[in-house]
Amino acid sequence: MNPLQRYIADEIAIDHIDGLLPRREAMRRLALLGLGSAAASALLAACSTAQEQSEAPQPRLVPETSTGPAQPPGMAHVLPTQSISWNGSAGPLQGAWAQAADAKGAVLVIHENKGLNDWVRSVAGRLAGAGFSALAIDLLSEKGGTAVFHDPAEATAALGAIAPDQFTHDINSGIAELTLRAPGQKVGVVGFCFGGGLVWQLLTAGALGVSAAVPFYGPLPPNPDFAGSKAAVLGIYGALDSRVTGSQATAKAALDRFGLINELVVEPGADHAFFNDTGPRYNATAAADAWRRLLDWFSGYLSA
């Protein structure tokens, strides 16, 4: 398994341990990733043991409902997106485009491991409503696009089968398309979970043309080398998400070593995927704070 595949497998195991997936479903999803029953059972057992042996165990799920009078951050001014396609390095790529009025920057949005779904489109629309034209890329384009997968678990498995380098090529193609649609604008990238890991991966590849990057609770590549990157980086983590947040110190050291402007924020009481208002770990307080920080970061480094 490559690091991103391992990340997906661990995420499935933790969802099971946290009571979000029954064992049968967790085993099915791990099988789709290519794990045999023995390896899948061992992974579930290892993750369970690791959680039990944590030095400071704490309740992991502290969800705040996204229903009721309070809207998710940015939804009050969300703009519609339109489906677009363009030529990438390995064939046609698909995405959702939202044009901001009087844009002050442009942002590429990188989805979670479920592909380009309605929630990701809403993030692009929210960014456009806040003044940043946005393109949400579909990294399953070479598989026909996220829409062809009726089972989200199969979409996740298909992403796990794509070579990590191809993601970087596709993301760079997305950045090139974004600059064509937003000429003269500085470019930022934001990614969530799996997509947050791809933001870190992009930074290790140089992130050419990217002025600001915001990885949300994304796995850090081993021995990160950001020598070729010039982006200002805002890393956002959840305090309860020990699996990912544990890499914060390493990320900070690498960003400082290579001279990148950076700020790393750990949202208290928030778990993995806390920004996704359609998921069980949504935390409204943390999401609102992260959204404010995201907009301030892009305003500071894309508008200047």
Which residues, other chains included, contact 186 with Cβ-Cβ below 8 Å and sequence gap of 6+? Answer: 105, 106, 211, 212, 301, 302, 303, 304
Query: In percent, how much of the chain has pLDDT > 90?
Result: 86
CATH classification at residue 257: 3.40.50.1820
Q: Judge whether 239 and 233 are in contact, CB under 8 Å.
A: no
Cα 89–92–95 angle (5° rounding)? 110
pLDDT confidence band for 191 (50 / 70 / 90): very high
Q: Is 64 a residue whose pLDDT tops 90?
A: no
Token digits of residue 2: 């490559």
pLDDT, residue 1, reads: 76
Q: Give the DSSP letter string of 69-94.
A: SPPPTTGGG----EEEEEEETTEEEE
What average pLDDT does the structure give for the chain? 92
Does residue 59 belong to any structural domain of this protein? no
The pLDDT, as a whole number, for residue 54 is: 57
- Each residue's pLDDT tens digit, 143-171: 999 999 999 999 999 999 999 999 999 99
Q: Which residue range is the domain that position 280 belongs to?
A: 82-302
**Cβ proximity of 302 and 273 under 8 Å:** no
List, for residues 217-263, the tens digit of each pLDDT value: 999 999 999 999 999 999 999 999 999 999 999 999 999 999 999 99
pLDDT average, residue stretch 35-50: 88
Domain count, the chain: 2
Q: How far apart are CA 82 and CA 112, in angstroms?
A: 20
Average of per-residue pLDDT across 94-121: 97
- Structural domain includes residue 108: yes
DSSP 192: E
| Same domain as 249, residue 172 | yes
Shared-domain flag, residues 18 and 142? no
Question: With the C-alpha atoms ordered 243, 248, 254, 255, is the resulting torsion angle positive or negative?
Answer: positive
